[in-house]
Amino acid sequence: RGKVVQGIGETSVPIVALLPLPTLLIWGHLSLSAHQMGLGDLARAAGLPMYKQLVHEGPDRQLWEQSPLNKDFLNMDAVQRAPAPVLRVFVLVLSILADKADENTESADPFLTMLPKHKARLHASKKLVMGMYIAVGIDDHSLACRSAVQVYNLLLPLLRKKMQHEFLLD
């Protein structure tokens, strides 16, 4: 783990050993592969062990006490101990987990479905902001920019909407 070992053969240079592969890295790659194959549920399920290890999940509260932006926060001790390849994959997993906010919830009254959708978008944006923080911490600026663009695209519908209900117009 992180120790320099002799070369693989006579013609190779010494390398840094990473084996055995960290379990979180395997879960992360499983999540990424499932996402690429279009298996969203499997991708999210495979990303959850990584999420639970590196993020503190806040307690569930009553609706009027909740803030989607304050519910979860990074477990800084675990993040500081994790190697850069694990953190890089974790940022991509956070991106996959944030995709859930775009799922449609249909209802007869669109006004009643706005709050859960908006909450889901804000919660997903928090995941992406955590990803940006980690990406900047490991000096992967292209990954940070990717997360920033995803946050912008996720929040854009909230910034454009004019929320007026028919009862407010009377």
pLDDT in tens, 139-167: 999 999 999 999 999 888 887 766 565 55
The counts of H helices and E strands in the chain are 7, 4
Give me the amino acid identity at 151: V
Which residues on adjacent β-strands are paired with residue 5?
Answer: 15
Between residues 18 and 39, the one the model is more confident about: 39
- Using CA atoms, how far apart are residues 93 and 95, in angstroms rounded to an integer? 5
Give me the amino acid identity at 43: A
Query: Mean pLDDT across the stretch 28-51?
Result: 92
- Residue 41, judged by CB atoms within 10 A of its CB (0-12, 13-18, 19+), counts as exposed
Taking CB atoms within 8 Å and a gap of at least 24, the contacts of 155-163 are 155/121, 155/125, 157/121, 158/118, 158/121, 163/111, 163/114
Query: Mean pLDDT across the stretch 55-76?
Result: 74
pLDDT in tens, 108-124: 445 556 667 877 888 88
Are 90 and 26 a contacting pair, CB within 8 Å? Answer: no
Residue-level pLDDT at 105: 47
What mean pLDDT, rounded, does the chain reach?
79
- Residue 19, judged by CB atoms within 10 A of its CB (0-12, 13-18, 19+), counts as exposed
SS3 state at 170: coil
What's phi and psi for 55, nearest 5 deg? -130, 135
End-to-end CA gap in the chain: 68
